[in-house]
A and B are shown apart, each in its own frame.
Chain A
Amino acid sequence: MHKKIEVLKKELSKAVIGQEQMIDGLLIGLLSDGHILVEGVPGLAKTTTITTLSKALGLESKRIQFTPDLLPSDIIGAQIYNPQTNDFGIKKGPLFTNLLLADEINRAPSKVQSALLEVMQERQVTIGDETFRIESPFLVMATQNPIEQEGVYALPEAQLDRFMMKLVVTHNSEEDELTIMRKAATKSFGKVEAVLTKEELQTLKDAVSQVYVDGEVERYIVQLIAATREPERFGLESLKTDLMYGASPRASIDLYKAAKAKAFLRGNDHVTPADIGFVLHDVLRHRIVLSYEARAKGVSPDEIISKIVQEVPIP
Chain B
Amino acid sequence: MAVDQDRLDLTAFVNGDSKGAAKLIDRFSSPLLNYATHMLHGDRARGEDIVQDSFIKLWNNAAKLLAKDQELYLRAWLYRVVRNGVLDEKRKPVWDGDDAFEMMSDGQPSAELTSQQKERARFVMELVSELPERQREAILMSHFEAMGNAEIGRILDVSVEAVESLLARARRSMKAAAMAKKEMI
Partners in one complex: no
Query: Which B residues form the contact surface with A (CB < 8 A)?
Result: none
Query: Which A residues form the contact surface with B (CB < 8 A)?
Result: none
